[in-house]
Amino acid sequence: MDTNKLLEISKWIRYQILLSTTTARSGHPTTSLSATDLMAVLFFNNHFRFLIQNPKHPNNDRLIFSKGHASPLFYALWAAAGAIEEKELLTLRKFNSRLEGHPTPKFPYAEAATGSLGQGLSIGLGMALNAKYLDKLPYNTYVLLGDGELVEGQVWEAAELAVHYKLNNLIAIIDINRLGQSGATLHQWDLKSYQAKFDSFGWKSIIIDGHNFEQIDKAYTNVQLSAEQPVVILAKTKKGKGVSFIENREGWHGKPLSQDELKTAILEIGPLKKISPSLLQPENLKPKKTKITHQNISLDRSKPLATRKAYGLALIHAVQNHPEIVALDGETRNSTYSETFMNAYPERFFEMYIAEQNMIGTAAGLAGRGKIPFVSTFAAFLTRSHDQIRMSQYSCSNIKICGSHAGVSIGEDGSSQMGLEDIAMFTSVLDSVVLYPADATATIKLVDLAAKYQGIVYIRTTRSDTIHLYTDKDSFKIGGSQTLKSSLKDSVSIITGGITLHEALKAYELLKQENIYLRIIDIYSIKPIDIDTLQKAHDETTAIITVEDHYPCGGLGTAVNQALSSLKNRKPIYQLSVTKIPKSGTPDELLRFEEIDKTAIVKKVRTILD
């Protein structure tokens, strides 16, 4: 090991961290300085294998900065490796720069968007799972975490699953610099407390001085000797290392140096030597080719079938054309029916247990390595992972999420199990797609469309068995709809989807007996929505009623109102939705209680026409 060379590289990186943040007049220099030595040894002492010319090379080691606020270090590290020019570092945090305040994939060497703390280890877990169980490649995944974020529960969700899946290719590097944003961290420099936690989960732990090159190098070397355990390197560091007047001082988080302070710091760092270090080259192995055995699926349309039950069949159908599909479930597989897929393709299924935040992060990691993860749990439980979903949009993650047991129609389980905010949550994500199948055939076709779509897709499924409305000949598209009942006599349009579509069809039959005709539209694509069909319904009928098993804000009714908001002389749009705190009962009782059943629809139509 050439200690002098590593020292010069670290000095150069520290200089760039300070210069770029002072130039930007913002950023996090001190938290970058604390981890500089750890990253310099990883990159430039024959540990990290990476082909600079091809960031997506399947054999590249992966590096995730879970502590994304250390982005000045991240960018300087890649500049030292020759991936970007030194002058680009001075564009840090500028409007058109790739070097954002926290890393995103706009910078091609960033594996994912990070900065919402606690999420990086889950993303790394997904990439490590891919290497070990899917691609069967020897790359390692390194995740740099700050000590402050170890209070986040998601970190320990990931830690537990990493041991369960024996991920000896996952290495967590903890930068224990003692200081958080507003003061000292929970355990400060009590490394034994951190070690006890990781040891209790079953990790191999290594304690080092994070500024001692020999100890750092030895730790990375020992990583390769781990049999079937993930490894954590617990590094004692100093925030602001290398600049005496900010080293281990409170009050410097997220605070760049002034120009005068920068001059003092540069003098302290000392003269720089021009060094052009290089990275180890990765092996040139090909990912294991996926072989999908063909399996036929069939529907018995003489018997009602819940859309949640059709979901598992839909995955089996979709994987025939999309072999990159993998399924993850939050220990609800016998309710979401992802177990149907698991039984058919066990090697492409990962049980994530009751840890929804980690499950979404893991899915983002798998998507980052080219897989198409389908994630499933109850719609209600997805709300706790909204931040992870939000961050996935910044990673441009190609993930699909199925929320089952949506709405009050789940019945006796009661309010805690009812997904009533899920449509609002997912429509708020930019460029997301929200699909709501009303029968088994629609589920199969919409899951296939979801697999084809590049981006985040939410699929909402229902607990109750429902009759079949569609055949294989019916076509679906993202942004489409189906008009199930239509005539020149239509007086009111009913815009609905999922379980309440079946109630609308019952209402149609009741009112038809009174010579009152309804236009019934299945708006199975809530986002994007079929504006043309909605406008036609608006123009050709006297009013619109939206019906949904969801709270009024942010649901189907909101989507319809928004789609038609620009119309002049807009006709009335009435909304039937869940407006009372739900309770236990039968599905029929609850639909009646919330006034979203056939009786409520009939009553509303009569009121409008009267």
State the catalytic residues: 356
Helices (H) and strands (E) in the chain, counts: 21, 17
Q: Within a 10 A sphere around the Cβ of 566, how many other Cβ atoms?
A: 9
**CA distances to 8, 36, 183, 330 from 188, in Å:** 29, 19, 10, 33
With H, G, I as helix, E, B as strand and everything else as coil, classify residue 220. Answer: helix
Q: Are 574 and 608 in contact (CB under 8 A)?
A: yes
Q: Are 318 and 451 in contact (CB under 8 A)?
A: yes
d(CA 20, CA 29): 9
Angle of helix 307-321 relative to helix 440-452, nearest 10 degrees, comes to 40
Q: Within a 10 A sphere around the Cβ of 277, how many other Cβ atoms?
A: 17
User: Among 47, 57, 66, which Cα is nearest to 112's?
Assistant: 66
Q: Where are the beta strands (DSSP E) in 210-343?
A: 231-236, 325-329
Burial letters for 236-258: b for 16+ Cβ neighbours within 10 Å, e otherwise? Answer: bbbbbbbbeebbbeeebbeebbe
With H, G, I as helix, E, B as strand and everything else as coil, classify residue 265. Answer: helix
Q: Within a 10 A sphere around the Cβ of 429, how many other Cβ atoms?
A: 18
With H, G, I as helix, E, B as strand and everything else as coil, classify residue 404. Answer: strand
With H, G, I as helix, E, B as strand and everything else as coil, classify residue 174. Answer: strand
**CA distances to 9, 33, 157, 228 from 15, in Å:** 10, 10, 37, 39
For residue 382, what is the DSSP state?
G
DSSP letters along 53-97, please? T-TT-TTS-EEEESSGGGHHHHHHHHHHTTSS-GGGGGGTT-TT-
d(CA 436, CA 453): 16
Spatial CB neighbours of 141, under 8 Å, sequence gap ≥ 6: 61, 62, 63, 64, 124, 127, 128, 131, 169, 170, 171
Q: Within a 10 A sphere around the Cβ of 187, how many other Cβ atoms?
A: 17
Q: SS3 helix, strand, coil % of the chain, rounded to 5?
A: 40, 15, 45
Spatial CB neighbours of 116, under 8 Å, sequence gap ≥ 6: 68, 387, 390, 391
Q: Are 302 and 350 in contact (CB under 8 A)?
A: no
